[in-house]
Amino acid sequence: MSARTAQLLLVLALFAAAHGAVTGCGSEQGSGRGAQARTPGHSPMAEARARQVADAWDGSEAARAWRKGYYPIGEVVQLPEDAFHDAADKLAFGNQNFALRGQLPAAPRKNGRVKWESGGSLTLPLMEARQAYEAVARGGNDGPHLTVTGAKLGEMTLDTSRGPATVPAWLFTLDGYGTPLKRAAVRPLKPSTPPVEPVAEGPSDTLQPLSQLVGTARDGRSVTVIADHGACDDGPAVAVLETDGSVVLSASVVGANEGPCTKQLLHEKVTVKLDRPLGDRILLDAFTGRPVPYGGPGLRA
């Protein structure tokens, strides 16, 4: 064999090995960085844990209670149609900086009704306008602020674990805006005790807790979650196990580097595609064994 032939064979072998490494990585999902998310298939331990969580929830009393309750998976705070007028107003909302000019009304009744698009309703206690305002206006710095000049009780539509619903809402008038800022006026029910315990050990490269759910695609075929990772790794990965009754997400960190590293906790949006729409299936975190909590920008439902 000539030296040139031997070199060619070596190059082809290396190419084949690299190609196999790439195609063996599993499905790819979109991430908050705009790059392809690192989403390998389940490790044996993570897959076993995801199956344990799915089996515990499917058909459980906790799952039945979840499907009968009010649990938002969409924004409980909705912006005015013409928001925002400028960067200062956008910054004020992000920092939850509000100023109140005038008095807020009392709730006209004790209870309000949540009505689902698919049928069914639920009566829940109404939150006072002051409580709703304080849930939004948590900032307190000297930067830009939005001014609330009044409020009235109305309605808003948002996504829930049972599909779209019309819920009572406080409609806050903002100085300079033609449409109100809406805040749901009923609180989610307290979830039932989960039928499975959290992972006994702390977070590891194999399994990490998810931070929160931040959105569901309009067609229900993908969900976007926030996953945590460190400063010395390649970022988070989220694998998915789908059953008829649940969707279990398993978060992990990939490419962790050995050696000294700063103790930084970074957050990244990861969009996970589903084989079929989420529907009324329960979105679960494999690490905690609980439904993934929903939370918009600084606003956890």
* Same domain, yes or no: 54 and 197: yes
* Same domain, yes or no: 203 and 56: yes
| Last residue in a domain, options 184, 208, 224 | 184
Higher pLDDT, 27 or 208: 208
Q: Is residue 1 part of a domain?
A: no
* Same domain, yes or no: 53 and 132: no
* Same domain, yes or no: 85 and 172: yes
| Last residue in a domain, options 184, 216, 243 | 184
Higher pLDDT, 236 or 125: 125
Domain that holds residue 110: 73-184
Q: Is residue 104 part of a domain?
A: yes
179-191 pLDDT per residue, tens = 999 999 999 988 8
Residues shown for the chain = 301
Average pLDDT over residues 140-149: 90
Residue 62 confidence (pLDDT) above 60:
yes
Q: Is residue 165 part of a domain?
A: yes
**Percentage, residues of the chain above pLDDT 70:** 78
* Same domain, yes or no: 87 and 171: yes
**Percentage, residues of the chain above pLDDT 90:** 57
| Last residue in a domain, options 135, 161, 184 | 184
* Same domain, yes or no: 175 and 216: no
Q: Is residue 7 part of a domain?
A: no
Q: Is residue 286 part of a domain?
A: yes
- In DSSP terms, 164 is beta-bridged to 159
Q: Is residue 17 part of a domain?
A: no
Which two structure tokens, joined as six digits, stand for 211? 């931070």
C-alpha span between 245 and 71 (Å, rounded): 16
* Same domain, yes or no: 180 and 199: no
* Same domain, yes or no: 58 and 202: yes
* Same domain, yes or no: 89 and 54: no
* Same domain, yes or no: 258 and 120: no
Give the closest residue to 122 by CA, choosing from 63, 67, 159: 67
Residue 28 confidence (pLDDT) above 50:
no
Q: Provide the number of structural domains found in the chain.
A: 2
Q: Is residue 228 part of a domain?
A: yes
- 3-state SS, the chain, equals CCHHHHHHHHHHHHHHHHHHHHHCCCCCEEECCCCEECCCCCCHHHHHHHHHHHHHHCCCHHHHHHHHCCCECCCCEECCCCCCCCHHHHHHHHCCCEEECCCCCCCCCCEEEEEECCCCEEEEECCCHHHHHHHHCCCCCCCCCEEEEEEEEEEEEEEECCEEEEEEEEEEEECCCCCCEEEECCCCCCCCCCCCCCCCCCCCCCCECEEEEEEECCCCCEEEEEEEECCCCCCEEEEEEECCCEEEEEEEECCCCCCCCCCCCEEEEEEEECCCCCCCCEEEECCCCCECCEEECCEEC
* Same domain, yes or no: 252 and 217: yes
* Same domain, yes or no: 78 and 128: yes
Q: Is residue 214 part of a domain?
A: yes
Question: Confidence band (pLDDT; 50, 70, 90) for 144?
Answer: very high
Q: Can you give the pLDDT at residue 18?
A: 35
Is the pTM of the predicted complex or chain greater than 0.85?
no
13-17, 24-28, 137-141, range with greatest mean pLDDT: 137-141
